[in-house]
Amino acid sequence: MAEAAAADGPETEGAEGAAKRGLIGSIAGKILGPLLGLNKFVLMGIGAGVLLLAGGGYFLLGGSHHEKAAEAPKALFYDLPDMTVNLSASPDRPQYLRMKITLEVENTHVVEAIKPVMPRVIDTFQTHLRELRITDLEGSAGLFRLREELTRRVNLAIAPNRIRAVLFREIVVQ
């Protein structure tokens, strides 16, 4: 048993020791270890750091990120008619919401798909907007939820086509 423990130690030489430690570890340990006075784990850490720095420099100095940005398709914008709806509020004092909305689309095919179903889009918008309370529109989170819901409703109306986003040009609550 003492012989097996001695055979597995760092002083093991030859093909058997190299096979146990791995070829790369053996080469790095024999050549760079004594040269730099470091063990193989420190050398692997340094190598990983160099690779991370090189990869980061590649992206910072104009790697594939800039090429993809140049190929991105341009967006088109389609304005919807202005809408004014009364909100679901107390019967004592009515509250109104006036909105100007623009749809962001990828190409003219999507715009052509929207035009025939425009009455359905406006109907779904107004139906949803009339059920809102003033508290539903408060803060950026309220407007984000409204934007997501309106985007979902347009995409359902023009399926299989899709819009990119609903953009608010104006929102006034009175």
**133 has pLDDT over 80:** yes
Q: What is the pLDDT of residue 25?
A: 60
Instruction: Give the number of other CB atoms < 10 A from CB of residue 64.
Output: 9
Q: Which residue has the tokens 């914008």?
A: 77
**149 has pLDDT over 90:** yes
Q: What percent of the chain has pLDDT over 70?
A: 67
What fold does the segment set 76-173 form as a domain? Tetrahydropterin Synthase; Chain A (3.30.479)
Residue extents of the structural domains in the chain: 15-70, 76-173
HSE of 173, CA atoms in CB hemisphere, 13 A: 16
Closest CA to 154 of 129, 130, 127, 122: 122
Convert the pLDDT of each residue in 34-60 to its tens digit.
655 566 777 778 878 887 777 777 766
Convert the pLDDT of each residue in 89-119 to its tens digit.
767 788 888 999 999 999 889 999 999 999 9
What does the DSSP assignment read for 75-138? PEEEEPPPEEEE-S--TTS--EEEEEEEEEESSHHHHHHHGGGHHHHHHHHHHHHHT--GGGG-
In DSSP terms, 83 is beta-bridged to: 99
Instruction: Give the number of other CB atoms < 10 A from CB of residue 101.
Output: 22
**Residue 165: CB partners within 8 Å, gap ≥ 6?**
103, 104, 147, 151
Higher per-residue confidence, 28 vs 110: 110
Higher per-residue confidence, 11 vs 41: 41
Q: What is the pLDDT of residue 75?
A: 83
